[in-house]
Amino acid sequence: MQVDYKAIAIQGYVKKLTLTVVIPCYNEAPTIEKLLGLVEAVELADEIIIVDDGSTDGTRDILQRIEAENRPNVQIIYQPKNRGKGSALLTGFKAATSDVILIQDADFEYDPREYPILLKPIEEGKSSVVYGSRFLGGGRKAMKFWNMIANKGLTLATNILYDTILSDMETCYKVFRREVVEDMTIHARGFEFEPEFTAKVLKKGIRIYEVPISYNGRETDEGKKIKWTDAPIALWTLFKYRFVD
């Protein structure tokens, strides 16, 4: 008999902490408005911060129109030029005021309806950091084989270097109490944010709690931006912060 852990997690869910959703955004004109609508429809975010990272495809026009609508709890920040996902996230973290911060990509790979699953362990005091794992049995669109190998390889390196048992270090869905990052210096400006943040969380002695999530991966021609060249950078980042404060 298969247990529906997601149904159990959502059943009787009562939100106890305030939530800021940070959405880094770069050239996401086809998806950003609908994605924002999905986040709003969940009705759990007290604050939604979209950080446009120098988009050039018309995304800014869409965001400016959304801004003019004065949608409740939506704040839009425009970076003057493209600096990378890590930079956009740091800008969002600085602007966040809620108890908990949740990272949401600006496409449809991750489902905002799973916020209760991600928030519940924090609200129950199980951990101050929760990761949504694509490899714990949730439904998922099959990713490319070598992408899977890269993900699992980087997660294995994380586990060896930091004595943990994560299943998905590179996941977008990272959720944490705001104080986790208040005294954390993060140098990453690009996709190396994921390993640097994970390394520094683990070096703080925080045990990351993982929950299963669904995943609807997109292809490069659909706008996916991470490349194979980001994998060795991530691996070097893991090694570097294992031995350097």
| Domains, the chain, ordered by start | 17-243 (3.90.550.10)
The residue behind tokens 């930091």 is 162
Report how far apart, in Å, the C-alpha atoms of 30 and of each of 60, 110, 214, 223, 243 are. 12, 16, 21, 9, 42
Q: Is it the case that residue 54 has pLDDT exceeding 80?
A: yes
Please give the order of strands across the beta sheet that includes 209-212.
Answer: 74-78, 47-52, 19-25, 100-103, 174-177, 129-133, 209-212
Per-residue buried b or exposed e for 184-197, using 16+ beta carbons within 10 Å of the residue's own CB: bebebbbbbbbbbb
The pTM of the full predicted model, rounded to 2 decimals, is 0.90
Beta bridge partners, 49, equal: 22, 75
Q: Give residue 199's region: left, alpha or beta (phi > 0; psi -120 to 50).
A: alpha
Mean pLDDT of the chain: 90
Higher pLDDT, 3 or 212: 212
Higher pLDDT, 138 or 228: 138
pLDDT in the model for residue 21:
98
Q: Is it the case that residue 223 has pLDDT exceeding 70?
A: no
**Lowest-pLDDT range, 24-33, 45-54, 216-225?**
216-225
pLDDT in the model for residue 224:
54
For 185-213, what is the mean pLDDT? Answer: 95
The residue behind tokens 């409740």 is 72
